[in-house]
Amino acid sequence: MFEIFGIPSQALFGQLLIGLINGSFYALLSLGLAVIFGMLNIINFSHGAQYMMGGFAAFILLQQTGLGYWPALIIVPILVGITGMIIERTMLQWLYKLDHLYGLLLTFGLALIIEGVARNFYGSAGLPYRVPDSLTGGQNLGFMFLPNYRAWVIVASLTVCISTWFVIERTRLGAYLRAATENPALVGAFGINVPRMITLTYGFGVALAAFAGVMAAPIYNVSPQMGAELIIVVFAVVVIGGMGSILGAILTGFGLGVIEGLTKVFFPEASNTVIFVIMVIVLLVRPAGLFGRRA
């Protein structure tokens, strides 16, 4: 046991870990928002509700079919992603030419409906979801105890985030996406099916939210408001990182999670507001966000 700046190392590293865990979810969710905003020009306010759908879908899958955590981690993002694609085809596609506000209002309404339905069937109390057997327990690192499941969340989130960044920034498919973000009409005139690409992009962004929801279920429990609580912070993360910036969303997500964790150690009273204080400062100094390109 040792101390850093008068703080016991256990407490410091413990909060750092919580910061990284929260950061993992901030990064996954803001990444999805950034991908969707970049391609669809829509601020997906139902992102939190879709994250919650992921948690609930995992819970229901276990209850109804006995399928546990690992199958859920694959199946749930696909299922929720498909509901996203249906929403895109039936509703969002009519809004692209309008102001951002319309997409925001529609997805906000959808979020309220989805959360209302969940509350109607399952109430407001959190439902427990067990950590998978293969990831119970933890490692004693000497300076702190690291639960296996939490280590997994950090690794999985980093892997998904880096893979997504790689696909978008370094592959041919990603080049189509970036080009279509810039000039969809011309990309279409090259023979590429841009509307289908947009549908798949929204589906993928929603699937990322659902994936985060499944991963969150064993940590935070499953409840109808789990998304609403998180999404406000995630929007601040997106604003700080810069709307539409992939790398910005990832780095800001993890970075702000850690800053929030450290604030809990050094000045706990500010831990709930530190992200919003940073958001205000960034908006004043760099309105396009830390990684944003000026439109």
Contact of 157 with 28, CB cutoff 8 Å: yes
C-beta neighbour count of 234 within 10 angstroms: 28
Identity of the residue, 89 or 126, whose beta carbon is nearer to another protein in the bound complex: 89
Residue 174: CB partners within 8 Å, gap ≥ 6?
167, 168
Q: If binding means CB under 8 A, how many residues of this protein chain bind another protein?
A: 18
C-alpha to C-alpha distance for 266 and 87, rounded to whole angstroms: 44
Identity of the residue, 193 or 272, whose beta carbon is nearer to another protein in the bound complex: 193
Residue 172: CB partners within 8 Å, gap ≥ 6?
none
Identity of the residue, 74 or 186, whose beta carbon is nearer to another protein in the bound complex: 186
C-alpha to C-alpha distance for 99 and 118, rounded to whole angstroms: 30
Q: Which of residues 123-182 bind another protein (CB under 8 A)?
A: 172, 175-176, 178-179, 181-182
The full length of the chain comes to: 295
Q: Under the criterion CB under 8 A, does residue 228 sit at the interface with another protein?
A: no
Question: x/- contact string, 198-217, with another protein (CB under 8 A)?
Answer: --------------------
Identity of the residue, 113 or 173, whose beta carbon is nearer to another protein in the bound complex: 173
Identity of the residue, 3 or 182, whose beta carbon is nearer to another protein in the bound complex: 182
Closest contact distance (angstroms) between CB of 185 and another protein is 6
What is the C-alpha end-to-end distance of the chain, expressed in Å? 51
Closest by CA to 18, choosing from 221, 289, 288, 271, is 271
Q: Which of residues 171-200 bind another protein (CB under 8 A)?
A: 172, 175-176, 178-179, 181-183, 185-194
Residues that bind another protein (CB under 8 A): 172, 175-176, 178-179, 181-183, 185-194
